[in-house]
Amino acid sequence: MKRPLTIGQRLKRADWFLLGVGLLISLFGVLIVSVASQGQRADYGWIQLRWTIIGTAVCLLMLAIPYRTIVMWRYVLYAGGIVLLLLVLAVGRGGKSANRWLQLGSFHMQPSELMKVILVIMLAGFIRYQETHKTFRGLAWPFALTMLPMLLIMKQPDLGTALLLIPTLFVMLWVAGARAKHLGIVAMAGLVAAVLLYFTPGILKEYQKDRVRAFLLQDSKDKALIKSHNHHLHHSKMVAGVSSFIGDGFGEDTFEKVRYLPERHSDFVFPVLLATLGHIGVMVLFGLYAVFILLVLRTAMRVREPSGRLLAVGVATVLACQALINMGMTVGLFPIVGTPLPFMSAGGSSLLTFFIALGLVLNVGADNPVEFGRGDFD
């Protein structure tokens, strides 16, 4: 058996280009968050920069432990994640309408963000060493492992993060060789169940249903409805609608445009980017995301070890889905959910989570053990 690589070897073999792109997106985010911080109580740009530095450090630290060791500890991590989620429900702090944070000194930790990565690790490990997911019945375990944290996150309530786990599960299963027919049946059943749950009293919070209604009524001209119902979406679309091709730069004009945009430093940072740098900025961001995802997927393709592959695919899926949902909701393509834009939105937990995920992918790429999976998922 091949000896594990040393830290130095891993650092040497790590995909520095991928880390560079991740850092670039993050610094780009710092810039936009700084613009969004104008007129706010705190300088979120500076806070974001600090988290970027911490995140980079954590990312490099992740290289210290071979990813297979991490995968091996998946049950412990999973249990820890579940405990944290339970703690949130027990002693967590509320945001505007939800109970999502754990206070650790001056740091507010959002375990649901961390749980996204833990679930990817859990599923990567679980699927790697199981063959059951190729049967319909065998899908039950992966689903059960996903549903548990998902229900706990929904209970906070954080529907956006909870629903994000589903595409991650589906993609990982599909890539790992689950049959598309089985997954399709489950998806259809899930949709029907979701509709039934929506109309079942007591399952969804009123504000969660309200976001769906707001999404459906987003083109209403009723001012009262806009104010009471579509306040976030209306302002977000307004900022996007009035942005010019090259944006208004970092001056007063941009501030004038975005000053009434709520949560502009976190969930609604994409319209701020549009107002600041216009389509040029969008082009840069999309380009960076495209390159980033491409590099993560390239890592998955290069690695022959199945759990490493699944880790990379899982991370790519989480990041891609979250980016699309966040940007889509700010322009009215999805209902508003509290999902930050990866590497861009202000928020320590989110940034740290994605740097951990990035660290995992770097780890996978650096380790690259000479071990062949059974059938190579094919």
Partner 1 sequence: MRFRRKLIILYAAFLIGMAVIWGRVLQLQTLQGEQWQAAALAKRHQTEQLQAPRGRIEDRTGSVLAEDLRVFQLAFSGWEWRRRARVSCNRCGVVHFHRVDKPPPKRCACERYAARRGAQLAAVDPETRFEPMPLGDLGPLEAALELPRGRLAALAAKRLAHVDALVKAEGERLRAVGVSDFRIDDGKRLKEEDLLRRPYVLLTGVSQAAVRMVHLDEQGRYRGFRIQTDLRRHYPHGDFAPQVLGYVSKLRDLAEYEALHDVRPDQITISSTIGRAGLERAFNWQLAGVRGERVMARDKDGLFTRLVSERPPRGGSTLTLSVDLETSRLAEERLEDHGPREGYHPGTRPSGAFVALDAVTGRLLVWSEMPRYDLNEDLGKVFSDTWNAAQVDREQERWVPLRTLPPGVDRAVWERDLVRPAPLVWSRVAGLAVEPGSTFKPLIALAALHSGRPLPFNAFRCGGLSMPGCHGCGTVGLERGITVSCNQFFAALMSLDRSASRTYWRTVPTFLEALGIGQPPSAELAEYKRGTWLRDWSDFSVAEAVTEALAQLKAENPRARIEPVFTRGRGFPRTVAGDRQLFISILRDVLLQAWRETGSRRIGVGMTLLEDLGSERRIRVDVRPLGRTSWAALPLHHSVARFDALPDTLKRAGRRVPAMGGKLRFNGSLARGGKVWFTALMDTRIGRSSDAEPRRIRKNDARNVGIGQGPVLATPLQMARAMAAIANGGRRVTPQLVWKLGGQVQPTAPAVDLAWDPAHVARVKAGMHDVVIDGTARNAGFEKLPRHVTVYAKTGTAQVGAAWRPFELPGEASSTWHHWFVGFAEVPGENPIAFACILHSREEAAAGLTSAKATADILDFWYRQRAAQLQATRGGR
Interface with partner 1 (CB under 8 A):
39, 171, 174-175, 206-207, 209-210, 213-214, 217, 222, 224-225, 227-229, 234, 237-243, 256-257, 259-260, 274, 279, 282, 286, 289-290, 293-294, 297, 300-301, 309, 313, 316-317, 320, 324, 327-328, 331-333, 376-378
Question: Please, what is the minimum distance in Å from the beta carbon of residue 229 to partner 1?
Answer: 5
Nearer to partner 1, 50 or 374 (CB): 374
Quick one: 250 or 377, whose CB is closer to partner 1? Answer: 377
> Which residue, 51 or 289, has its beta carbon nearer to partner 1?
289
The residue to which tokens 């592959």 are assigned? 309
CB of 79 to partner 1, least distance (A): 30
| CB of residue 259 to partner 1, shortest distance in Å | 7
Between 54 and 324, whose beta carbon lies closer to partner 1? 324
Tell me how far, at minimum, the Cβ of 240 lies from partner 1, in Å.
5
Pairwise CA distance, residues 275 & 281, whole Å: 9
Residue closer to partner 1 (CB basis): 135 or 244 = 244
Closer Cβ to partner 1, 105 or 199, answer by number = 199
Token pair listed for 186: 């489950």
- Least distance (Å) between residue 20 CB and partner 1: 20
Rounded to a whole number of angstroms, the minimum distance from the CB of residue 338 to partner 1 is 16
